Amino acid sequence: MRRREFMAAIGGAAVIWPFTADAQRVGKMPTIGFLGQLSESAMRKWTDAFVQRLRELGWVEGRTVAIEYRWAEGRSERFADIAAELVRLKVDVIVTGGTIAILAAKQATSVIPIVFATAGDPVGTGLVANLARPGGNLTGLSNLSADLPSKRLELLREVVPELRRLAIMANIGNAAAVLEMREVQAAAATIGLEVTPLEIRRAEDIAPTIEPLKGHADGLYVVTEALANTNRFAINTLALAARLSTMDAEKGYVEAGGLMSYGPSFPDLYQRAALYVDKILKGAKPSDLPVEQPTKFELVVNRKTANALGLTVPTMLLARADEVIE
């Protein structure tokens, strides 16, 4: 009896001890505040990539690290409130992306480290002092938005050789989007395209800017950011009705019916953001971590949309594409 009682006591301790240890770890777990500029579903592939890379680095959500997710649903007016809430929660690092969301986080704290997974022009928009030595409490990854317009227009002309008139849609409330619009205008001018800038600030501005383009433009360049991303289905539906061939920066737009996209892989950028978080949680200072450039790019083509527009995608371009949506 005594032996059985002893073994039962040992068994009970085995059950209780891990729970106690876990409870102790929970009390000391570092916390990541995740400011999602879009909806949870829209960012699922990106956050999955981020969490997976954290796990590979030894940060297991709920065991060795906690993550406080907040979703702005593409509503930029919510960014400041969410950033302030994460600061009140005293998170150890804030992760976000998109210039307006990053600026909201920067304005909310000068102490808590901020890692941005995507930023259009970190220096031009005043996020960091320079790429090599960011200074302050921010660092992360640039998506080279100001350097890719020429390449995107080149690809669009391969599919639409008769492209003469280009409309450019940008949220002018976003400093990075404004900078990219200027870059697109400059690139279009060098190849002799007639340009129509479309300025939006809210979802209600989208339809009135696209509908009048039917018969007056051949293509639509959409500057990627939270407002456009949240309304990508509506943009593509309106563009198709106006017979516009669209070019975007991220494949989610093409999956939502756009013609084509070319730009950095966002899941890859979020994976790399996890590396910054890992270093910061281990004691590194954001000011000492250089802002890095994308290394993985994706060309995505929607052949179904091309067929609807009466376009034939060149075989060579299809062969170069990372993904073709049928």
Q: Where are the domains of the chain?
A: 2-144+266-296, 149-264+298-325
Length of the chain: 326
Confidence class of residue 137 from pLDDT cuts 50, 70 and 90? very high
pLDDT (mean) for 149-172: 96
Rg of the chain on CA atoms, in Å: 23
Could you check whether 2-144+266-296 and 149-264+298-325 share the same CATH topology? yes
For residue 145, is pLDDT > 90?
no
**pLDDT of 61 above 90:** yes
Question: How confident is the model over 226-261, as pLDDT tens digits?
Answer: 999 999 999 999 999 999 999 999 999 999 999 999
- The whole-number average pLDDT for the span 201-211 is 96
The yes-or-no verdict on residue 8 having pLDDT over 90 is: no
Q: Is the predicted pLDDT of residue 1 greater than 70, yes or no?
A: no
For 149-264+298-325, CATH number out of 3.40.50.2000, 3.40.50.740, 3.50.50.60, 3.40.50.2300 equals 3.40.50.2300
Question: What CATH number matches the domain at 2-144+266-296, 3.40.50.720, 3.40.50.2300, 1.20.1050.10, 3.30.360.10?
Answer: 3.40.50.2300
State percent of the chain over pLDDT 90.
85
Residue 224 C-beta-side C-alpha neighbours within 13 Å: 30
pTM of this structure = 0.84
